[in-house]
Structure 1
């Protein structure tokens, strides 16, 4: 009951952002950046995270960070977190400076709900080398939720962290905060997880996901969230519930990509080649699927028809681009041009 009410209230107050088939968006969540100490779970995946962000930046993506970017319940000093992960925040600032960074707060970075806290900790930063303050994410306004609306089809994607209605992380967050700060953080250092968290509690996690599904069916909107750390991409046109996964898996991070009107779930992971060289590789786990395939407002037949048109159009566009690149290569190669003549 609380989940339905909280999600609905957040939906009504959500900021609306328009997108179309030319938009390039990546959704990532639950990095839980800490202070760089032994209990900082982000340490093991921060190189993956920075590499992925740099790739997305170079390819003109807009970065949606869908909550729990910082672990502020365990580490109360934001300046310690920023100093521990300079490369990560430099990558984030590149997106922000180009107006391509959307920040959503979750339960572990709930303090970003307070404009004064944001102004103090995100608008400016301190350069320890030059011993001076400088503008950082000046003017940023973290959101509880965002509605992505397609300019031409009016399809809406509801983007939110997903802790809303999860009692320990919403209604009773104050007590959970105290327990984490003064109790569980010390157990965390030796690898013991909080059993109340949906991350390790399978029964609780599935209950939350069932509540998500109920909200989707009632409100007929696709939902993109994080919170459970369990990546999700609907199979066989199931209820359109998407989960970004998280940024603190042992040797990988996951993300949702929305490009050319197609959505897919991807994983960035470390791979070792035959020569023993370590590489970072991006692989598709689910999709790509036309975003229209998840518009449950329309009759199933209409959705399937629109999805097929999108698939055919995308395939044709890719073939044309490949042919164009091949023709350019032949033109640039004098030997190839001579043979052609």
Structure 2
């Protein structure tokens, strides 16, 4: 019941954008960019991430970073993350300068809910080499949720990080953050995960997904989220629950793409070619399918078929 309430509240306050067959959106989540140390899970996939974003930039996609982009629970001072990954923030700035960046906050970067924090850390940055401040993402306003609405059919796609209704990562996020910052982060280098995270806790992960599917069925909305780090693409008879996965899998990242009126799940992966050279390849894992295939509104399902 609480999950339904939290999701509904976020939906009602969501930013709305209209889409059509010319729209290009890509959804990536859970980058968990850190400070470049051993506990920085993003660092090993940094080059894959950069290569993927260059592709989306050149192909005129709008980039939706769907929560937990920066690991602010472990590193409250954003400058440490920024200094560790300058190339990443350079391309994010290129997206933003062309009005093609939408930043959604998750539990690990919940500080972006505070516009004061955003203004202090994201509007401008300090270049330690030149000793000058420069504009970074001036005026950016991270959001909790996004609704993409089809101009013709009025079908809606609800986009949210996915921690809403997850007790330790939503309403109890602060004590969970403290336990991660002062204890669990030091075990990351050895592959040990916090039990409050749905990443390694299968029962917790399935419970979250089950609650979200209930909301989808009740409100007849297509939904894209992250948070669990488990990519999902609905099978033929499943309700339209999509999960973009994460950017910290070993040697690969996953994403949801919307382009040409269709949706698909893709993976960017490091592979070795026949000459023994490492290459980054993009492959379609599921789809593409027309977005309209996942329209479950009763009014649509009950429409008479015209021949």
Q: TM-score range by the shorter chain?
A: over 0.9
Distance 2:50 2:303 in 1: 40
Kept in 1, the 8 Å contact 2:176–2:196? The answer is no
**Equivalences for residues 40-189 of structure 1 within 5 A:** 40-189=40-189
Distance 1:301 1:287 in 2: 25
**Equivalences for residues 241-260 of structure 1 within 5 A:** 241-260=241-260
1:318 paired residue number: none
Q: TM-score, normalised by structure 1?
A: 0.87
1:35 aligns with 2:35: yes
1:278 aligns with 2:287: no
Relative to its length, the structure with more helix (as a share) is: 1
Structure 1 gaps of 5+ residues are 307-341
Tell me the secondary structure at the aligned position of residue 190 of structure 2: coil
RMSD: 1.4
Tell me the secondary structure at the aligned position of residue 41 of structure 1: coil
Which deviations, in whole Å up to 9, do the C-alpha atoms of 1:290-339 show, x marking residues without a partner? 00000101444869x89xxxxxxxxxxxxxxxxxxxxxxxxxxxxxxxxx
Kept in 2, the 8 Å contact 1:162–1:227? The answer is yes
Kept in 1, the 8 Å contact 2:229–2:245? The answer is yes
Runs of 4+ aligned residues of structure 1 deviating over 6 Å after TM superposition are: none
Tell me the secondary structure at the aligned position of residue 148 of structure 1: strand
Kept in 1, the 8 Å contact 2:29–2:69? The answer is yes
Question: Aligned-pair distance for 1:131?
Answer: 1.6
Q: TM-score, normalised by structure 2?
A: 0.97
Aligned residues: 305
Structure 2 gaps of 5+ residues are none
2:197 paired residue number: 197
Distance 2:277 2:37 in 1: 28
Distance 1:33 1:265 in 2: 22
Question: Aligned-pair distance for 1:191?
Answer: 2.3
1:239 paired residue number: 239
1:219 paired residue number: 219
* Greater RCO (CA < 8 Å, at least 6 residues apart): 2
Distance 1:17 1:300 in 2: 24
Question: Aligned-pair distance for 1:28?
Answer: 0.4
